[in-house]
DNA sequence: GGTTCTAACAAAAACGTTTTTTCATGTCAA
DNA sequence: TTGACATGAAAAAACGTTTTTGTTAGAACC
């Protein structure tokens, strides 16, 4: 009656008490020990037996009891995930859709490997969440002086960050991360803007407390120096919302020689840019091209729909979990960093030219590449 | 080395392998059975023994191993939490801060009672999250035709909603919910606006797919009829963001007899109202008073800072978890619904008059009542 | 003075795995 | 032919609880 599958549309056939290792053993005509060894790759068994047992287990839909397993291993089976923050940066994250997608995928990946992911979002102090014992932790978008990260390191809790730390962990501890290549992604979106007719591109970004911001800025600067353009950067302080993007856009558009395209490192900022354009009766994309980083529903529904850099948060979440579990299980070897590919979803906000000459049809759903 | 406390600032004294029930038993000079009975309130023991054992356990810092407990109880120890959605309402939730606060508090409450809370946010289809087995689920802001809720009901998964369903569960299943009194909260914020000099108040709300929206609208209408004011309601369709609030505000302000105060049911909409006021050179609060539902960082930092209705999401999260666990454990009796008190944080956006006559000093941090 | 009852507790079984130990069987070298 | 050793697999122990079943001592009853 309880403990049912979350999406149990077709309620499993009267669920005659769950399949256990003993059932698999009986079906295969071996002992539970052998099943355990076969499935875990331990013990001494011929490969043929291993495969036979594996296929029987598969067929029976055997899923080991997580609690029993954790009981033996002495682990809690809990992984923590937390959005990095610090005194100066109360909340480093600007994007709801991004976080929810990452979280959702990470949850799935964790459960698939027999762990549960517990979230800690607001951190008023060391007391919050004080009693949770986790086998490891994921820190999203680590900011420079987040005290939590040091605390985790000191407590020897395995940590994987999504986005890179600004300095390696103390005490020679391993550094594990999952990230996009934001330098490359920035160069690609800038190339996209240029190929669609942008003459001068401005950048709106947050303070460089996270690696993705630093990467975007350096990618932008590199691109500028390569194209002989003077960098035009407006940095947002305080909370990240459309109003902040609006003000930053005004700053850029008030320049003596204003840009005719703006790339914002967060979708909310880009939405603010659209508002600023509207306030000045600038047509998007003809007078001003706008693109943002991180796609969202709001971007897709904006007027006009926003071109966006796709960061693949699901893949980041899954990889982070997988890396963290590897880190927890392989005590000695350190898992390699993971770089998750990015993409661009092209929408009307940058549809000024398509290729050399020619105007792209203005449709709500732009073409998308690299989106699964 | 693993399984350390998340915030292990003072790393526990070399942690000489965790305190177990046997340690408590030895310290108390009784058997593990007796300790278990004493702490769970089962078995036949004199109260004096119970208390003695409880205090020893407390003193030793005994915390039962969750996995062992779940193993014998046959539960997974997992609670699911999901934001309601449906075909027509892809994402019912408008507020990041609100959700994170609720989630964070709920996580803490769950862990405190030996459960883990797993999140499913994006639901692309029945496959997502398909393999997670939960002992129960929390559905946040249930919308009318969310297929998930029916699926959970059919699978006999205990469900608690935050916000009320629009119709009772099928098959005579118990209905459990945690909610604010949004009708009352709406009346209070309207009274606040009126007492500070508002003559005519407009309402901006989302489509009435959630109970809180329906409550806000009915509270507003009741207040209007009581005050002889014609209701002025602008309903937002599509994604909820500042742009949507902006457009809704324009709609109200373009009326022949426009309001001099606007209450928006989500903070992002209220921020959009501020932008609309600025675009028309209306001074807030003198020309237009603005208030939103749900406080957020962005509201506090807005220009001017926004008066907001406090919904106490932490308390909602904690109560939901607690109610859900009660529901899971008490197979027969159904826990009572919980109504979480609301409050108002008064800030500059409504600081036109303070009481009869007199103008409140314009400071960033307004007074706050009912905020803990 | 035996039986029955109850209070207070302890011993043992169970939960479903993993890990460690043991036990056959064969094979090979001496 | 006899150890020594490898292979394949099973038995047993362990993980830390809760639950079920026993056990003892004393009180109550006839």
The answer to whether the Cβ–Cβ distance between A121 and B100 falls below 8 Å is yes
Q: Point out the least confidently predicted range of A17-21, A353-357, B12-16, B232-236.
A: B12-16
Residue A342: what pLDDT?
A: 97
The answer to whether the Cβ–Cβ distance between A275 and B9 falls below 8 Å is no
Confidence at A354, pLDDT banded by 50, 70, 90? low
Q: DSSP E strands: which ranges in chain B?
A: 4-5, 78-83, 116-120, 133-134, 136-140, 159-162, 176-180, 201-206, 233-236, 261-264, 289-293, 307-310, 338-340, 343-345, 368-369
CATH 3.40.50.2300 fits A182-311+343-369, yes or no: yes
pLDDT greater than 50 at residue A257? yes
Does at least one atom of strand C sit less than 7 Å from the CB of B49?
yes
Mean pLDDT of B12-24: 72
Residue of B239 and A26 predicted with greater confidence: A26
Confidence at B118, pLDDT banded by 50, 70, 90? confident
Q: What is the pLDDT of residues A183-220, one digit of tens each?
A: 999 999 999 999 999 999 999 999 998 999 999 999 99
Q: Is residue A332 within 8 angstroms of chain B, CB to CB? A: no
pLDDT greater than 80 at residue B264? yes
Q: Point out the least confidently predicted range of B189-193, B240-244, B323-327.
A: B240-244
Residue of A96 and A37 predicted with greater confidence: A37
The answer to whether the Cβ–Cβ distance between A238 and B119 falls below 8 Å is no
Residue A89: what pLDDT?
A: 61
Q: Is residue A126 within 8 angstroms of chain B, CB to CB? A: yes
Comparing every residue's Cα with the C1' atom of nucleotide C9, the nearest one is B34
Q: Point out the least confidently predicted range of A114-128, A172-186, B137-151, B181-195.
A: A114-128
Residue B89: what pLDDT?
A: 61
What is the residue extent of each domain of chain B? 21-64, 78-180+315-340, 182-311+343-369
Inter-residue contact A175 to A169 (CB < 8 Å): yes
Mean pLDDT of B55-80: 93
Q: What is the pLDDT of residues B173-197, one digit of tens each?
A: 889 999 999 999 999 999 999 999 9
Residue of B140 and A154 predicted with greater confidence: B140
Instruction: Please give the CATH topology (third level) of the domain spanning B78-180+315-340.
Output: Rossmann fold (3.40.50)
- Nearest-by-Cβ selection for B8 from A66, A151, A158: A151
- Residues within 8 A of A (CB atoms), B 153-182 only: 154-158
Residue B35: what pLDDT?
A: 96
Please identify, in words, the CATH class of the domain defined by A21-64: mainly alpha
Nucleotides in chain D near protein beta carbons (<7 Å): 7-12, 14-20
| Residue for token pair 């109970």 | B211
Length B31 CA → D30 C1' (Å): 37
The answer to whether the Cβ–Cβ distance between A101 and B112 falls below 8 Å is no
Length B16 CA → C12 C1' (Å): 29
Residue B356: what pLDDT?
A: 45
Q: What is the pLDDT of residues A44-88, one digit of tens each?
A: 899 999 999 999 999 999 999 999 999 999 998 889 998 887 766
In chain A, the percentage of residues whose pLDDT exceeds 90 is 60
Distance (Å, whole) CA B284 – CA B197: 13
Q: DSSP E strands: which ranges in B301-342?
A: 307-310, 338-340
Confidence at A250, pLDDT banded by 50, 70, 90? very high
Q: Point out the least confidently predicted range of B17-26, B139-148, B333-342.
A: B139-148
By C-alpha distance, the chain B residue nearest A3 is: B135
Q: Which nucleotide has the least CA–C1' distance to B44? A: C8
By C-alpha distance, the chain A residue nearest B75 is: A3
By C-alpha distance, the chain B residue nearest A327 is: B2
Are B21-64 and B78-180+315-340 in the same CATH fold? Answer: no
pLDDT greater than 90 at residue B134? no
Mean pLDDT of B142-159: 85
């Amino acid at each position: 009656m309880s403990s049912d599958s979350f999406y149990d549309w077709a309620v499993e056939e009267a669920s005659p008490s769950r399949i256990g290792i003993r059932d698999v053993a009986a079906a295969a005509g071996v002992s539970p020990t052998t099943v355990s060894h076969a499935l875990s790759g331990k013990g001494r068994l011929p490969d043929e037996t291993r495969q036979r047992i594996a296929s029987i287990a598969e067929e029976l839909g055997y899923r080991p009891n997580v609690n029993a397993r954790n009981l033996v291993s002495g682990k809690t089976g809990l992984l923590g995930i937390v959005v990095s923050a610090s005194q100066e940066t109360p909340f480093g994250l600007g994007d709801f859709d991004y976080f929810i997608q990452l979280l959702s995928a990470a949850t799935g990946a964790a459960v698939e490997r027999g762990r549960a992911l517990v979230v800690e979002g607001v951190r008023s102090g060391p007391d919050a969440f004080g009693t949770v014992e986790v086998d490891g932790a994921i820190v999203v978008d680590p900011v420079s002086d987040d005290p939590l990260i040091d605390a985790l390191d000191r407590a020897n809790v395995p940590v994987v960050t999504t986005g890179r730390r600004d300095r390696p962990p103390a005490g020679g501890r391993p550094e594990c991360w999952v990230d996009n290549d934001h330098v490359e992604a920035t160069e690609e979106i800038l190339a996209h803007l240029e190929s669609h007719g942008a003459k001068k591109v401005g950048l709106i970004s947050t303070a460089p407390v996270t690696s993705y911001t630093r990467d975007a800025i350096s990618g932008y600067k590199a691109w500028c120096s390569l194209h002989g353009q003077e960098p035009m950067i407006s940095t947002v302080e305080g909370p990240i919302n459309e109003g902040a993007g609006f003000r930053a856009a005004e700053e850029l558009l008030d320049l003596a020689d204003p840009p005719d395209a703006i790339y914002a490192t967060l979708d909310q900022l880009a939405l603010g840019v659209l508002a600023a354009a509207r306030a000045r009766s600038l047509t998007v994309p003809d007078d001003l091209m706008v693109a943002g980083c991180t796609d969202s529903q709001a971007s897709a529904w904006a007027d006009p729909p926003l071109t966006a850099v796709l960061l693949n948060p699901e893949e980041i979440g899954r990889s982070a979990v997988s890396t963290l579990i590897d880190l927890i299980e392989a005590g000695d070897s350190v898992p390699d960093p993971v770089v998750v590919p990015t993409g661009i979803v092209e929408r009307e906000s940058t549809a000024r030219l398509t290729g050399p000459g020619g105007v792209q049809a203005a449709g709500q759903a732009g073409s998308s590449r690299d989106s699964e």
